Amino acid sequence: SSELTQDPAVSVALGQTVRITCQGDSLRNFYASWYQKKPGQAPVLVIYGKNNRPSGIPDRFSGSNSGNTAFLTITGAQAEHEADYYCCTWDTNDNHVLFGGGTKLTVL
């Protein structure tokens, strides 16, 4: 079956821009959705589709794709953005849903 690979950890200086990556063959055909996960809280959808934000998600969050890689970009990272971020997409090989391994974002 397919997999989605994410860097385990990424850090960014306060106020700078950070890009979190997600790689997998399924991403050649389907966009990823992205989730912010803080300890003790349920995941929150931040990006879905080509580059759509649910209501309440600020436009500092954006999504993009290139080949087999999806990107989540946070422009002007703040302390409250420190969290785990997960990508998710559809796997046509096995007809099921895939999640990436997650990226722990640290804001310095």
Partner 1 sequence: QLQLQASGPGLVKPSETLSLTCSVSGGPISTSAYSWGWIRQPPGKALEWLGTVYFSGRAYSKPSLNSRVTISVDTSKNQFSLKLTSVTAADTAVYYCARQAETPGGFVWFDPWGQGILVTVSS
Binding site for partner 1 (CB under 8 A): 1, 29-31, 33, 35, 37, 42-45, 48-49, 54, 86, 88-90, 92, 94-102
The least distance separating partner 1 from the CB of residue 78, rounded to whole angstroms, comes to 22
Number of other CB atoms surrounding residue 78 within 10 Å: 13
The least distance separating partner 1 from the CB of residue 108, rounded to whole angstroms, comes to 23
Cβ proximity to partner 1: between 20 and 33 the closer is 33
CA–CA separation, 36 and 59 (whole Å): 15
End-to-end C-alpha distance for the chain, whole angstroms: 37
Cβ proximity to partner 1: between 8 and 15 the closer is 8
CA–CA separation, 12 and 70 (whole Å): 19
Contact criterion met (CB below 8 Å) for 88 and 36? no
Q: Which two tokens stand for residue 85?
A: 């971020």
The least distance separating partner 1 from the CB of residue 73, rounded to whole angstroms, comes to 18
Cβ proximity to partner 1: between 30 and 71 the closer is 30
Cβ proximity to partner 1: between 15 and 96 the closer is 96
